[in-house]
Amino acid sequence: MSNFVPDKRHLREALLFLFHLKKNATTAHQLLVEAYGNDAASIRTCQEWFQHFKSGDFDLNDKEHGKPSKKFEDEELQALLDEDAAQTQIRFRRLGRGFVCAALHWL
């Protein structure tokens, strides 16, 4: 028996290979378990990757997670934020029909 432990990339490539062989996610999971035992991807992971492949997304790289970067559509609001990045108070500014929090910084 081999000491090989598959990494995420290897498992994803194996899933893509099985997808192209017209296997479904459940069968792919069973084959990975047969080959790698406890090191195989979970059934849920197999299902998620097969959904990517079915939608035409064959990129095997990790997607970025976390909070998306803040994008400000209002130039006035962006100018307030750029004005003083070290503000320690909440500044409210009337923009359009309501009030918008311009900045909140914790020190």
CATH level 3 topology of 8-54: Arc Repressor Mutant, subunit A (1.10.10)
56, 59, 64, 68: CA torsion to nearest 10: -40
Q: Quick one: pLDDT at residue 32?
A: 97
Q: Quick one: pLDDT at residue 59?
A: 95
Q: Quick one: pLDDT at residue 1?
A: 57
Q: Where are the chain's structural domains?
A: 8-54, 69-107
Q: Which residues have CB under 8 Å from 44's CB, separation 6+?
A: none
For every one of its 107 residues, what pLDDT tens digit does the chain have, with 9 covering 90 and above? 578 999 999 999 999 999 999 999 999 999 999 999 999 999 999 999 999 999 999 999 988 777 766 665 667 666 766 776 555 455 555 555 555 555 454 44
Q: Which residues have CB under 8 Å from 67's CB, separation 6+?
A: none
Q: Quick one: pLDDT at residue 19?
A: 98
Tell me, rounded to whole angstroms, the distance of Cα 33 from its chain centroid: 25
